[in-house]
Structure 1
Amino acid sequence: MPTTAPARQRKKSSSSRRDDEAPLIPILARKVREVEAKAQRGKLGPTNRTKFQVIAFLVREERARVKADGDVTDAARAELLKRLDGVATILAKTAARDTSLIQLLEVDQATSPVARRMRRDWLLESGAELPPEELVIADAKPIVQATLVPPVALERGVVPPRVEARIESNPFLAPDLTHRTGGPTPRRRLDGWELMGPLYKAFEQGAGGGAATMDLPEVPEFDRLSPKGLEVMAHQSRFLEAVRAGHRTFLLADEPGLGKTAESVLAASVADAYPLVAVVPNVVKMNWAREVERWTPHRRATVINGDGRDIDAFADVFIVNYEILDRHLGWLAKVGLRGMVVDEAHFIKNLSSQRSQNVLALASRIRETTPGGDPLLLALTGTPLINDVEDFDAIWRFLGWTTGDKPGPELMQKLDGTGLTPADKSFYPEAREAVISMGIVRRRKKDVAKDLPDKLVADLPVQLDDEFGRGICEAERELGARLAARYRRIIDARGDRGLAAGEVDEDIVRLVAQGELDESKAAGAEGDNVFTMVRRIGQAKASLAADYAAQLQRSVGKVVFFAKHIDVMDQAEAHFAAVGIKAVSIRGEQTGTARQEAIDAFNNDPEVGIIVCSLTAAGVGVNLQVASNVVLAELSWTAAEQTQAIDRVHRIGQDEPVTAWRIIAAHTIDTKIAELIDQKQGLAARALDGEAVDATSSDSVQLAALMGVLRDALGGR
């Protein structure tokens, strides 16, 4: 774009108003205020950064025109230059707020097709008559990416040995480019328009109103998907019928607790989108593996940790967390993936981050290599928008709906079919509906309440794979070995008394476990016993639980976070402060006044997102029904304590189904404790509510957990 504009003829009337002498200035003033408002709310998105460029360019261009215009009086010229200085001042203040904008003030910056279209549209709006060569603006030629793996990730790339066998066993992975044949794309009516800004504006204004959910098929007469013992809910079934009908790209933005993971797992089965890769936060990797096993037991899932040396290379579903995706991009691109799920997809909103670039690169590769070019792509997030409507950008790119600069072919066809342009006010509701029809699905708990239980406890198993976590697992193995040695000494001293090979004497198991429990109670916090082990597990889970609670808060609003130990509460509060979430807490050492102030702040202050509660101090006498989601970072030793905690939210006045998310350390005693608590809940239901549930032992959770550790060490049941 030239640094100065050619002389332009402007439409003038006989009016003497100052805007007639420079009709572009009020347009620039309005646009710069829009950019300033965005900058005040957070980091600017790509469209507003482009606006900033174009405003700066046109201010320079208009200043040169005003100075050179001999028809303008000196007084009028001074007034116009003063107004342009006002626009420039706002630009400078905005750049001071976000210093990355300063480089956009360079003279030759606003040269992209999007910037040139924006400049052209504003000039036409001002009444300028442009030469033909400025009216038609061609798209820039796409930049061919030399390699899938960015250079920074290439150094970290690994290929697990077992993966090499899989790649060699798949001779049919050459790209199927049949969907790209057929000659050049015909020119469309809207090709000359800048469309991304209007698309964002349509959502920002909520143009047309109504929920952002595509039309979904009705619930089928028969449930053909649920495995034995499980049942797909009605809202899930409607989504899956859309997949069955052939839809392949979705922004699934249901609120947490509505079963997005299960829907995704079943969608892969319906679409036969295997192999499938799921890119997820570290805290939910184990839960994803469990959901694959539950809902599609005929499929195998493998969780990728570290360098992936222990993965099942022939699995149907590969589960990897964002932090290590760069190491595995290379081989994932070669195993013939036909589907990709990005969980908590708002994690990729920053397009300049390596995380986002890795996800987008892999998605692009999957589109290229999937036969027919139509893979299953799912973006899951209850919070697609964090700071700005342009947070949609990365998700839309991942799904192939847009390229960032313009809509993709399918979306462009829908927009063109409206018969409207961004100059028409009615374009915006039509544009919003066009994007929604591409595959946006958003349901809230209260929208599907009849499908949900009024209270649900959902377990989130996490892997303690850091050094601290490995130390805990080693301590548990040592505890099991110590108990097993005691058991064998007793058996050796009294004789096996006719025990069959591999049979365990339950009386001695109980005796050994009771002895260990008595010693642990006597030792308290000293030594390496079951109580100190459970506390260490809580400490190891603290950051993972806090991270999940923070994600949840961004999706659903207020969240109640329960922990048992003060140090776990401290870690959680520090994490919330670090990520910018305002939190209050209820602790045992608080005065009654401080406690009530924290409760009132959580219930009444919209800025307070999380309340961190002690299981013992806040388990009774607290009303927190302003929230409907609870995170249990640590497990209690009693079922009643867990119930009391959840019932701070699940009580009279609650008008939404309640979900309690239990963070459980996989492959540790934590898992046994969770199972035992559930059994005790069943005992209460049987004794008090008359429900037909299996009778359970009257042993304490501590004793039963130790007996379980001993059985595992003995190789018994």
Structure 2
Amino acid sequence: MAQRSRRGGTTHTPSRDRRRSQPRDGEGIIPVLAKAVRQVEAAAQRGKIRPSQRTAYQVVALLVREERARIKADATISEAERTNGLTRLDGIATILAKTAARDTSLLALLADGAVVSPMAASLRNDMLQAAGREVEAEPEEVIEAEPAESAAAASRRVVPQTVIQRQLANPFLAPDFSAARAPRPKTNRLVGWELLSPLFRSFEYGGESASMPLPEPSEIVHGIKDLELMHHQGQVVAAAAEGHRTFLLADEPGLGKTAQALLAADAAHAFPLLVVVPNVVKANWAHEAELWTPRRTATVVHGDGETIDGFADIVIVNYEILDRHVEWLGAHGFRGMVVDEAHFIKNKSSQRSRNVLSLSARIRERHHNALFMALTGTPLINDIEDFRAIWQFLGWIDDEKPRPELMAALEETGLVPSSPGFYAAARTAVINMGIVRRRKVDVAADIPARRVADLPVELDDAVGRSIRAAEAELAARLVERYRYTMSTRSESGVGGGELVSGIDLELVRRVAAAELKNTGTGSDKGDNVFTLMRKIGQAKAGLAADYAAQLSRNVGKVVFFAKHLDVMDVAEETFAKRGIGYSSIRGDQTPKVRKENIAAFLEDPAVEIIVCSLTAAGVGLNLQVASNVVLAELSWTSAEQTQAIDRVHRIGQTEPVTAWRIIAAQTIDSQLAQLIDDKAGLAARALDGSDEEVGSSADVQLEALVALLTDALKQADAGVATDSMSVD
């Protein structure tokens, strides 16, 4: 099929479906849709649906919907013709449902708000033309103006006094045009192709471990005393010294990404260097800078920045206050930018993401050879498209297409997205832009293995009964909505999705999604999934603390993680009553208190347990003095769980690491644990070349509700069947 750009090709005058007469069975849009959907169905049966077929699936579904509405509203046709048309459309809809049952990722293409790509719009027009219909002209692209900044946001902007002094001392920060500009593609065979979706999907198919070729490191790293780089760390530094300037450094947590970034900046002469980090690791970055780059001065931005050194080589700022400083940071003349825990910017609509992308664009405009590094041990949280903001920060893509350097690499493959081998070649091209992913087992074999062990606990008291009742009430509410919607469909004659064991799986997902959407709106009574999980955490708190106390008596120091402060409070009260020394890491602590509490756990034999917030202590801590972790509450993502465990399982660990997950038996807690484990295969397949299946891109919250409703419906149907047998 010929490809056309959004503005390219021939346009047609708008028309209201100028039909000469009613089409016969072999004419019109329905045969075109039937042929297309059969092709997609055949691909699904073979287990290999290509992106072009996914596009066809979406277009067919949209046109079926439009044609059904047109037939129902057309007063010029007879009732028999209307019934015949709707029946044929129902047949196509059935094939769509069966195909989605084979590949459930297709359902995302039908969701409200699903993006219709330029390729899909072009295919829709082709199908309409094949059916003998005139198509509407593609609308001119409208570029919306950025919303005006509010007066309140503008009033928060600050320029520290020392920054003003630096600007006055060096007012002529001329752009650096010494570096060669990005190469331009030598061919244009990819013009008109929608490329971003194929690039993202190329990482779903797996392949070799996602790491670019790296040079051998030099033996000496200048300026460091009594510190030795590991081989894998030296390779990144050597690559920067040889001129590579963009890195997605996705080493597993615990492999020393901070040191690699600082020394890469030194090798690339990328000073002054901007480092954007979570608040809890600002002090750690300053400490690491002092260790690894002692010839460089580092300053940390707090609040409005009154205490910073405007002449420092390394400026460290946290995401939360970036909006106050974004203006002067963009004009400061940075030659490099590092974003730590880069998965924090995956939501492009968030303020933190917009600030980071704005700063990277301004630095890139001024210095074409600037260094950009995105650091994250968990680059994928829910979906392959979590890559999008990170790639844009690195300058590999923009909002709509690859930027020139990546486009040149894709053109050199000689392939287009419909060509065999394109996905493997595209994945390699992106990896060579600067993805570096090493696993502990490959580069630090001396780190012992780790395991996650589940400890089911019974909640037999009044609180446990209350939780099970609340869960049953939530399930009943979902079942009631499901039944009501089913009855409404039956009365209106509207068909549903494919039934599995008598359950409409598509409707189940819609009901679960509606429950999440209504959460917090006050429209529903009773507990939602979030309040239910919090109650479970509260009920498990004492049991989890008891187990941690027993561990500390038998195996030594223990790290205790929880999500909520009240769970941490219960744990600390338990340890105090038992005379067990403990310290804690919470989000509301000052850097000084945080540092003292960490030191107490690491150095004081009397401090046996450290009680940590999953949010405040999940990154930036080295707690390898312990080898046992207790997870009192479950996270909503496997990435957060992994980050917590990797505070212990990292370089310097000498013992096998065990993470003990406390699971409330006979509750939704068990289902959530399984969902977290299922999602853990996503990063492994995308970056490590694993054969594990990629988990669903839907949020774990949604999947938990889907599982809860599905089980409730099965139990209800089983109860009905039992009653029927009793009557007989």
The aligned residue for residue 154 of structure 1 is 154
- Select which of 366, 374, 385 maps to 2:369: 374
Q: Deviations over 1:555-602 (max 9, x none)?
A: xxxxxxxxxxxxxxxxxxx99967999996676974899999xx9xx9
Q: C-alpha displacement at 1:22, in angstroms?
A: 3.1
The aligned residue for residue 379 of structure 2 is 384
The aligned residue for residue 635 of structure 1 is 600
Q: Write the mapping of 1:562-641 to structure 2, written as runs, cut at 5 A.
A: 590=546, 635-636=600-601, 638-639=604-605
The aligned residue for residue 58 of structure 1 is 63
The aligned residue for residue 605 of structure 1 is none
Contact 1:177 1:368 (C-alpha < 8 Å) held by counterparts: no
Contact 1:31 1:55 (C-alpha < 8 Å) held by counterparts: no
The aligned residue for residue 120 of structure 2 is 118
Change (3 A) 1:186 1:320: same
Contact 2:202 2:424 (C-alpha < 8 Å) held by counterparts: yes
Name the larger-Rg structure: 1
The aligned residue for residue 319 of structure 1 is 316
The yes-or-no answer on 1:79 pairing with 2:87 is yes
The aligned residue for residue 290 of structure 1 is 287
SS in 2 for 1:81: helix
Change (3 A) 1:255 1:591: closer
Q: Write the mapping of 1:392-431 to structure 2, written as runs, cut at 5 A.
A: 392-431=387-426
- CA distance in 1: counterparts of 2:548 and 2:168, whole angstroms: 68
The aligned residue for residue 430 of structure 2 is 435
SS in 2 for 1:411: helix
The aligned residue for residue 646 of structure 1 is 626
- CA distance in 2: counterparts of 1:31 and 1:150, whole angstroms: 51
- CA distance in 1: counterparts of 2:188 and 2:19, whole angstroms: 31
Q: C-alpha displacement at 1:117, in angstroms?
A: 2.0
Contact 2:119 2:194 (C-alpha < 8 Å) held by counterparts: yes
Q: C-alpha displacement at 1:191, in angstroms?
A: 1.5
Q: Write the mapping of 1:227-246 to structure 2, written as runs, cut at 5 A.
A: 227-246=224-243
- CA distance in 1: counterparts of 2:544 and 2:371, whole angstroms: 50
Change (3 A) 1:258 1:58: same
- CA distance in 2: counterparts of 1:178 and 1:345, whole angstroms: 29
The aligned residue for residue 692 of structure 2 is none
Contact 2:253 2:650 (C-alpha < 8 Å) held by counterparts: no
Q: TM-score, normalised by structure 2?
A: 0.54
Contact 1:415 1:431 (C-alpha < 8 Å) held by counterparts: yes
- CA distance in 1: counterparts of 2:629 and 2:33, whole angstroms: 63
Change (3 A) 1:237 1:178: closer
The aligned residue for residue 328 of structure 1 is 325
Q: Deviations over 1:311-347 (max 9, x none)?
A: 1010011100000000001111111011111100111
The aligned residue for residue 721 of structure 2 is none
- CA distance in 2: counterparts of 1:74 and 1:131, whole angstroms: 19
- CA distance in 1: counterparts of 2:536 and 2:213, whole angstroms: 36
The aligned residue for residue 642 of structure 2 is none
Q: C-alpha displacement at 1:154, in angstroms?
A: 2.2
Change (3 A) 1:176 1:151: farther
The yes-or-no answer on 1:216 pairing with 2:214 is yes
Contact 1:453 1:657 (C-alpha < 8 Å) held by counterparts: yes
- Select which of 334, 338, 343 maps to 2:340: 343
- CA distance in 1: counterparts of 2:625 and 2:580, whole angstroms: 5
Q: C-alpha displacement at 1:118, in angstroms?
A: 2.5
- CA distance in 1: counterparts of 2:190 and 2:363, whole angstroms: 29
Q: C-alpha displacement at 1:130, in angstroms?
A: 10
Change (3 A) 1:341 1:21: closer
SS in 1 for 2:156: coil
RMSD of Structure 2 on Structure 1 (CA)? 5.8
Opposite residue 626 of structure 2, the aligned amino acid is: I
Opposite residue 209 of structure 2, the aligned amino acid is: A
Q: Deviations over 1:67-109 (max 9, x none)?
A: 9999x9766522233256679999xxx9xx99x975x49xxxx
Q: Deviations over 1:434-462 (max 9, x none)?
A: 11111111111111114x6769xxxxxxx
- CA distance in 2: counterparts of 1:339 and 1:257, whole angstroms: 23
Change (3 A) 1:345 1:592: closer
Change (3 A) 1:308 1:201: same
Q: Deviations over 1:46-84 (max 9, x none)?
A: x999999967753455557889999x9766522233256
Change (3 A) 1:54 1:582: farther
- CA distance in 2: counterparts of 1:363 and 1:28, whole angstroms: 41
Change (3 A) 1:246 1:134: farther
- CA distance in 2: counterparts of 1:582 and 1:424, whole angstroms: 55
Opposite residue 63 of structure 2, the aligned amino acid is: L
The aligned residue for residue 172 of structure 1 is 172
The aligned residue for residue 34 of structure 2 is 22
Opposite residue 120 of structure 1, the aligned amino acid is: S
Change (3 A) 1:174 1:5: farther
- CA distance in 1: counterparts of 2:227 and 2:15, whole angstroms: 66
Opposite residue 208 of structure 2, the aligned amino acid is: G
Change (3 A) 1:374 1:55: farther
The yes-or-no answer on 1:249 pairing with 2:228 is no
- CA distance in 1: counterparts of 2:190 and 2:575, whole angstroms: 59
Opposite residue 117 of structure 1, the aligned amino acid is: M
Change (3 A) 1:141 1:407: farther
- CA distance in 1: counterparts of 2:399 and 2:650, whole angstroms: 37
Opposite residue 199 of structure 1, the aligned amino acid is: L
Contact 2:19 2:133 (C-alpha < 8 Å) held by counterparts: no
The sequence identity of aligned pairs, in percent, is: 43
Opposite residue 58 of structure 1, the aligned amino acid is: L
Contact 1:348 1:356 (C-alpha < 8 Å) held by counterparts: yes
Q: Structure 1 residues 196-205 or 273-282, which shifts more?
A: 196-205
Change (3 A) 1:31 1:383: farther
- CA distance in 1: counterparts of 2:58 and 2:276, whole angstroms: 35
- CA distance in 2: counterparts of 1:576 and 1:277, whole angstroms: 42
Q: Write the mapping of 1:456-467 to structure 2, written as runs, cut at 5 A.
A: none
Q: How many residues align?
A: 481
SS in 2 for 1:350: coil
Q: C-alpha displacement at 1:23, in angstroms?
A: 2.5
Change (3 A) 1:89 1:439: same
Change (3 A) 1:272 1:594: closer
Opposite residue 421 of structure 1, the aligned amino acid is: V
Change (3 A) 1:187 1:117: farther
The aligned residue for residue 463 of structure 1 is none
Q: C-alpha displacement at 1:284, in angstroms?
A: 0.3
Q: Which runs of 5+ in 2 are unaligned?
A: 1-5, 7-13, 46-51, 99-103, 450-529, 559-566, 582-595, 609-622, 631-647, 655-728
Contact 1:285 1:321 (C-alpha < 8 Å) held by counterparts: yes
Opposite residue 88 of structure 2, the aligned amino acid is: L
Q: TM-score, normalised by structure 1?
A: 0.55
Q: C-alpha displacement at 1:432, in angstroms?
A: 1.0
- CA distance in 1: counterparts of 2:70 and 2:158, whole angstroms: 59
SS in 1 for 2:117: helix
- CA distance in 1: counterparts of 2:140 and 2:193, whole angstroms: 11
- CA distance in 2: counterparts of 1:375 and 1:291, whole angstroms: 22
Q: C-alpha displacement at 1:176, in angstroms?
A: 4.8
Opposite residue 412 of structure 2, the aligned amino acid is: G
Q: Deviations over 1:373-418 (max 9, x none)?
A: 1211111111111011111111011111111321111111111211
The yes-or-no answer on 1:198 pairing with 2:163 is no
Change (3 A) 1:588 1:324: closer
Q: C-alpha displacement at 1:182, in angstroms?
A: 11
